[in-house]
Amino acid sequence: MSIRWDVPQHAEALERLNAALEDEAHRGAVVLGPDGVGKSTLARQAAEQLCERHPATLTRWVVGTPTERMVPFGAFGHLVDISEIGKPARLLRAARASLVRAGQESDLLLIVDEAHDLDVLSATLVYQLALAGAARMIVTARADVAPEPIAALWTDGLLERIDLEPPPGAARQSTPAEVDAFLAGLPAPARLVLDYLAIAEPLTVADLTVLAGDGAVRQAEDLGAAETRVRNHDDDEPVVYTAHPLFGARARLLLGTEGTRQRRTEVVRLLSGHPCEHLSDRLRLASLAVDSDAPQPVADVVDAAQQALRLGDLKLAERLARAALDRSEGLEARLVLGQALAWQGRGREAGVVLAAVNPADLSETELIAWAVPRAANQFWMLGEPEKATAFLQTTRNRVTEPAARTTLDGLTATFAMNAGNLTRAISLANQVLSVPDAGDQAVAWAASAGVLSSARMGRLADVDRLAERAAEVEHPGLLRFTVGLGQIISLVMAGQIEEAQALAQRFTDFAELQQPGRSVGEVLLAYVLLIKGEFAAAASLLGPASAVLERSGYSWGPLSLTLSATAIAQQGDIPGSAKAFRRAEIRHGTKSALFAPELGVARAWTRATARDKTGALTAVREAARTAERAGQSAVALLVWHDAIRLGDIRALEPVTRLVGEIDCAIGQIIVRHARALVNSDGGALAAVSDELAAVGMVAAATDATLQAQGCGGS
């Protein structure tokens, strides 16, 4: 039985695509539409015409497939080398740089076909390349299932959006039943080609020839079941794809469980004999081998699980680590599984996995490798900060190696910071950072804690230095956001609000790739928006972010709920703010004691919205004193400014004292605001309003204007 895919011609869309490729503002387009509407054909036509207009164009093809989607950078494995680069953020920078260099050497055209089937890292790289304008780009996708970074290509206006629909009167597309009949009618060699591609797409012509026999690929092509592509002009070997996504999907279904396992085993045995030049190839092979009868050595599976964890693919890391642990009770597999579960917010499961280890059987190196993730899981995911801190101290008493103690001290510094003991956090961080041979993990914990503690304490001169130390090492988990919040606070205190917003925005540009990272980035941005007075915009970010973070166990969860309550209250929503504040108060505890002043501010604005001025002033004063008692002088200064905005004339003394400790632009404006309010000086209040508006603190400026009007000022 033959099958015919009627690929419509889209002359108008082709014209628009050609124009978009020449448009320096967009430098390309996203072509959207259902399967079979002609997206790939349109992309190919546009690429051919562009190369005719610009003969020096270097064309690079990337094709998303269901099997490539299973591994980090699966679709880009042939273009970028990611073997030993580092964690996601650094890896993406290197990948982007390598492609940008190619674009500088010649005019680069990147075609990303079937982008809805990209893995998260590949999709993020596509977004970042478009954001940087690094190449002309044609991206094809189905809008209904596109991953978030791909959808952002058109929602953020980076590439022009071109929607394709079947022309009126076009023949309907074939149904799954017709596809099944087509597959059943294929000669055995051609059908074998599709079966193997359903397991691992793409495969090289040479590999498929070994698997399916001589002439099988040509037969599949002639019958319209498969197509061979040379992805890049300098590729040594062409690769084979199914001719339509439905072919692979239906072939997998028709193979059944036993047939799928058999074909997968045959593919794994063949690929295992090839050298794996790229990490994506090794991860792809490890993923395929898990459900086959040709398992890889346990050590190789554990290594692949560790690499997946490093790249932020928590699901793949969990799957591979479980497979390794099922075959061997090795510590390394257990540690990877525990971390993969914890970072997904599944703290109780992680606790069970990690608790199965007997510490008496471990060497000092193994003890540290186990104790750090177990303590972190206890502190954040299980909400047992006191137990976690005591466990770390007990472990520290057992070890004798200075490097091991330094690692534990770095994590203890982070615990102390989150618990609100900034003096101890700074002391421990400085001790760790003074050790010449401190390990990367110890430096990451200590430097990130030092950055945020210094910023909140008003030691602003130390922030950039410590941030540079943190940048020298890989940040485990979400520590880059801890550093980011410290830098943002420092910029705010300097009156550089727009710069603070720009920095926060970078944390939402898919830098962390997966949740909860994306939501933490949105909390940083919302923090700045609240300072600017853009309460509705902040609330729109914090609503979804808090829903994600509340489940994660991280201290960012209580902070997101607290900021959300403030954003809602500032918009005058009495019942909404009361409800949001109750949620924030319930979630607040020792692990988020660092943010106790913010909780007090949320309480104050919630009361102010309910027209309880006395209660609001009481709450905001207590929040400021809480910050001062904790040594958070910069935070106390900002909280006292909230008190001034609420009309507190008693704030002049503390802000004057704090500005004597902290030399910063915002502090000087706050003192002038307090003094003008005490003196009922309308003209001075109006001048302060202008200053606040100039730095971007619009809501505070509005409050100062209203206070000036109340004094008779202009």
Secondary structure (H, E, C), 354-423: HHCCCHHHCCHHHHHHHHHHHHHHHHHHCCCHHHHHHHHHHHHHHCCCHHHHHHHHHHHHHHHHHCCCHH
Q: For residue 559, which amino acid is it?
A: L
Output the pLDDT for position 481. 92
Contact predicate 201/27, CB 8 Å: no
Second CATH level (architecture) for the domain 176-263: Orthogonal Bundle (1.10)
Output the pLDDT for position 92. 64
3-state secondary structure of 112: strand
* Whole-angstrom distance, CA of residue 527 vs CA of residue 602: 13
Spans of all domains in the chain: 11-163, 176-263, 615-714
Output the pLDDT for position 149. 87
Q: Containing H/E element for 443? A: helix 440-457
Please identify, in words, the CATH class of the domain defined by 615-714: mainly alpha
Note whether 11-163 and 176-263 share their fold. Answer: no
Q: For residue 507, which amino acid is it?
A: F
| Cα 306 off chain centre by | 19
Longest distance between any two alpha carbons in the chain, whole Å: 93
Look at phi and psi of residue 65 and say left if phi exceeds 0, alpha if psi is from -120 to 50, else beta: beta
Series of mean pLDDT values for 10-residue runs along the chain (714 residues) = 56 92 90 88 93 88 88 79 57 65 68 92 86 89 88 91 75 74 94 96 95 96 91 71 90 94 97 85 93 95 91 90 93 95 90 95 93 94 93 93 92 96 97 92 95 98 95 76 96 97 82 68 96 97 92 90 98 96 94 96 98 97 98 98 97 97 96 97 97 97 95 58
pTM score of the predicted model: 0.84
Q: What is the dihedral of CA 494, 499, 503, 508, to 10 degrees?
A: 130
* Whole-angstrom distance, CA of residue 347 vs CA of residue 367: 20
Output the pLDDT for position 95. 66
Output the pLDDT for position 479. 87
Contact predicate 392/375, CB 8 Å: yes
- The CATH T-level fold of domain 11-163 is Rossmann fold (3.40.50)
DSSP string for residues in 570-618 = HTT-HHHHHHHHHHHHHH--GGGGGGHHHHHHHHHHHHHHTT-HHHHHH
3-state secondary structure of 60: strand
Contact predicate 562/542, CB 8 Å: no
Q: Considering only CA atoms, give the Rg of the chain.
A: 29
* Whole-angstrom distance, CA of residue 153 vs CA of residue 548: 23
